[in-house]
């Protein structure tokens, strides 16, 4: 793993030199694996560190000890349940690229535990269920998601974000939906939602009790599921790219640098 921008400089341990250290550029690192991630964060905890993540889904899969497909399926499940409130029964996803859209796309099929007729009966005149669902998914995104741009759109522009999600078919009975969304938006949304919702430091019970991911064969969660929350606890700020990669900034620790106050032998 290579370090850039001042990482080779010897950092001072003395309090009076802290101001000088604060002016040093951030250490830039390319993510390789979770062990090295935590090593770097511990070694340079009093300094700003920026990680270049080539593929966020792959990173999350490693942190949680699951496959990439499970990460993407859980991302779609979490977002739909958070937006609509219905338990998820089935979900399928596949990745695609498009010349018309920057970055990668995530095609999805999802089945909800909800009655189509009951949902349609609640619509106002002129409303269509797919558009209502899409709008709810955009509205449920955290307000502080506006940390930059995605696909060239300001994240505060909700109208622009709606163009990045499309539900283009529905099936009656227990509601089944199909559509496509920007992979970057899906990842960014679910990371923000999970960071706000899950505050368990060690063992996360979500897989056993949470209806967004409690599908058949998907209830065996591991302690590593709290890894994303742990990164946010460390102050991680994610800037997700349309291709599913990201730059992650970790600000310096708020703890003061260690100093020996009365030692004259150094």
CA separation for the pair 132, 120 (Å, rounded): 10
Contact 223, 204 (CB under 8 A): yes
State yes or no: pLDDT of 179 exceeds 60: yes
Q: Is residue 217 part of a domain?
A: yes
CA separation for the pair 27, 3 (Å, rounded): 6
pLDDT of residue 100: 62
Q: Is residue 49 part of a domain?
A: no
Look at 7-11, 114-118, 119-123 and tell me which has the smallest mean pLDDT: 7-11
Q: Is residue 91 part of a domain?
A: yes
Q: What is the pLDDT of residues 143-159, one digit of tens each?
A: 655 444 454 555 556 77
Residue 82: how many CB atoms within 10 A of its CB?
19
Contact 80, 137 (CB under 8 A): yes
Single out the residue of 228, 234, 225, 190 nearest to residue 205, CA to CA. Answer: 225
Q: Is residue 207 part of a domain?
A: yes
Average pLDDT, integer, range 75-94: 93
Q: What is the pLDDT of residues 194-251, one digit of tens each?
A: 665 554 444 444 444 344 444 444 444 443 345 666 777 778 888 888 788 888 899 9
Q: Is residue 180 part of a domain?
A: yes
Q: Read off the tokens for 167.
A: 């539900």
Q: Read off the tokens for 131.
A: 């558009």
Contacting residues for 87 by C-beta, under 8 A, at least 6 apart: 81, 112, 113, 211, 212, 214
Q: Is residue 90 part of a domain?
A: yes
Q: Is residue 2 part of a domain?
A: no
Give how far Cα 209 sits from Cα of 67, 87, 204, Å. Answer: 21, 11, 10
Q: Is residue 37 part of a domain?
A: no
Burial group, residue 76, by CB count within 10 angstroms (0-12, 13-18, 19+)? buried
Q: Read off the tokens for 117.
A: 């007729």
167 — pLDDT class (breaks 50, 70, 90):
very high
Give how far Cα 138 sits from Cα of 79, 183, 266, Å. Answer: 10, 14, 57
Number of independent structural domains in the chain: 1
Residue 118: how many CB atoms within 10 A of its CB?
9
* Of the ranges 12-26, 33-47, 200-214, the best mean pLDDT one: 33-47
Strand-strand pairing, 174-182 and 104-115 = antiparallel
- Domain with 134, as residue range(s), is 67-223
């Amino acid at each position: 793993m290579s370090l850039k921008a001042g990482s080779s400089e010897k950092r001072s341990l003395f309090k009076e030199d802290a101001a000088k250290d604060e002016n040093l550029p951030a250490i830039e690192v390319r993510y390789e694996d979770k062990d090295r991630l935590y090593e770097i964060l511990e070694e340079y905890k009093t300094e700003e560190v920026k990680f270049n993540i080539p593929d966020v889904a792959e990173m999350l899969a490693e942190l949680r000890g699951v496959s990439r497909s499970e990460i993407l399926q859980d991302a779609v499940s979490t977002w739909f349940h958070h937006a609509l409130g219905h338990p998820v029964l089935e979900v399928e996803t596949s990745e695609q690229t498009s010349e018309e859209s920057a970055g990668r796309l995530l095609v999805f099929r999802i089945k909800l535990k909800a009655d189509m007729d009951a949902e349609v009966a609640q619509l106002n005149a002129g409303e269509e269920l797919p558009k209502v669902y899409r709008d709810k998914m955009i509205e449920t995104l955290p307000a502080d998601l506006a940390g930059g741009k995605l696909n060239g759109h300001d994240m505060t522009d909700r109208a622009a974000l709606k163009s990045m999600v499309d539900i283009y078919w529905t099936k009656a009975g227990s509601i089944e939906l199909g559509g496509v969304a920007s992979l970057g938006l899906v990842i960014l949304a679910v990371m923000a939602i999970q960071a706000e919702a899950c505050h368990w430091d060690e063992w996360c019970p979500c897989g056993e009790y949470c209806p967004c991911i409690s599908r058949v064969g998907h209830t065996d969660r591991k302690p590593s599921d709290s890894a994303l929350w742990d990164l946010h606890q460390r102050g991680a700020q994610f800037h997700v790219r349309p291709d599913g990669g990201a730059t992650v900034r970790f600000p310096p620790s708020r703890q003061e640098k260690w100093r020996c106050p009365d030692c004259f032998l150094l």
